[in-house]
A and B are shown apart, each in its own frame.
Chain A
């Protein structure tokens, strides 16, 4: 079976000619190894014993009670993955692929630092050199992940162009790849970028939805009424949704970064953008009238991105997934509420999905169990969230 290059009109390979050969090579390698028993077995063993899969399905009874969700609120616990988020599902798969392709060097972009850490980790495991590009602004707000990457032996290169966030880091990683394409595999961290990346990332992340569906059936005897995930580039969301996309009765909701609210800066590409090309694919994009890409804004670095994966654009247009947004303020309060009521400190990205569930609980009530992809834990966010919430370590 060939690899999806487009999702409806979205996707494609809008990149410099120099890397087309490498995209072909990656497509061939992925087609060859995707169903290869040795590859699947190596990946499966590491997902089980190294990453900690399957991740648990957890019923969040205290939030359920507080928010009046009598049909049940369930978390798919990707926060329990090694390195603290779902990102490693993709990074591990691609590192194993890169090794089979004979690449000597791994590069990645990173926003919140989770993908950078998730890439540095299996790179260390198999002995491949790793360089992560990270915006200067993000390095400041997520310094703990910078230290983790460096401890794992990765080089972290600050990116000063633009707003010093994920968009700029991605552009710089692509420039490195264009220059070192013969020796280097670029591990893109979300379901974005030129084909075949969106399909590869979605497939490696689909383990989330496949596990969650089976676990829901086992725990509740049925499927959830609504599945909710946060969307920046959209990798945890697409991975979760892929488990339920054929279940017509399951409502799927993606929550984008509402940032400062309707009048301010935000990261809601699907709600407020229009289709365009950024980082190699055609998809919804925040841009001005001339096609200059706008700077996004979110309290969470992982959602601070003006584009979105092409499959989400398609799912939006056909109406299979509803895309909504949650503001910085709503996400921060949900972050604290989940920490206090469940003893789970969620990532700020994930907190957007929780904020939606809390603020729309009245609509969700009576619609069956709600499943949230708890995509990552918030350890990385304690500096920033603490400052915003007035919580510090002073005596």
Chain B
């Protein structure tokens, strides 16, 4: 029997020897082939790849990810297209898929989990599925060997942190800012205290994301958490590139810079 997603994720944390780099790629943005290439390029620097399935109404996302997702949907990208990208990474860093709850239940949670597992997906992040609504989906995920990655936020109190920790598999995604993706986090005492509180209550690794843009910020996060997620900034660099070659180069260079900052 192959390793479960949770086991693969936990091994990634054990073996990295530094805080983990978790870059995000929106599947199908700016087109399907480009997102495949970006995943490959980032896999050279990353420890876990976060792969986004575009959704029509992404409540937790700011304008950058919204626009990228809408562009992918306008081009006809479907969830199965994005899951298939994970096939390319077998033997590489584990893949966690981020998507909204309605995508998961559209054909049934068990069916979705089975399809994700068949593409080697290790974990699933569902930003609009809080821990108290997640029991059925968690059971379906476990049955398929996919880890359901919980989120915690600055507004999560200690009791909920414990509840999240008790159910957690793989890692917990700690949201650095009270807000949506793509803003700007700042390293301050509040964030340090939040990360410290999360790690006290949560037995699995804690990865911080939302609003992280620079290698310096990534390195600062690395001091207080087990890893860092960067999403909107990568999409912004892809969008700003004059052509596909430049976008590939920008993604590669950005990934290298973050990995280097985390290794210091």
Contact = CB atoms under 8 A, between A and B. Distances in A.
A113 to B, nearest CB: 21
Contacts of B155: 17-22, 181-182
Contacts of A167: 57
B130 A13 contact: yes
Contacts of B179: 18, 178-179
A272 to B, nearest CB: 16
A290 interface: yes
B31 interface: no
A162 B69 CA distance: 11
A305 to B, nearest CB: 12
B133 A161 contact: no
Interface residues of A, number: 34
Contacts of B131: 17
Nearest to A182: B178
Given A16-B128, A182-B178, A276-B106, A290 B78 contact: yes
B206 to A, nearest CB: 14
B59 A181 contact: no
Interface residues of B, number: 40
Contacts of B114: none
B217 to A, nearest CB: 19
Contacts, number: 111
Contacts of B64: none
A293 B101 CA distance: 12
Nearest to B154: A18
B133 to A, nearest CB: 6
B72 to A, nearest CB: 11
Contact of A15 (B59, B79, B106): B59
Interface string A15-56: 111111110000000000000000000000000000000000
Interface of A: 12-22, 161-162, 167, 171, 174-175, 178-182, 276-280, 285, 287, 289-293
16 contacts: A12-B133, A14-B129, A16-B59, A17-B153, A17-B175, A21-B155, A22-B155, A167-B57, A179-B179, A277-B100, A279-B59, A290-B78, A291-B55, A291-B103, A292-B103, A293-B56
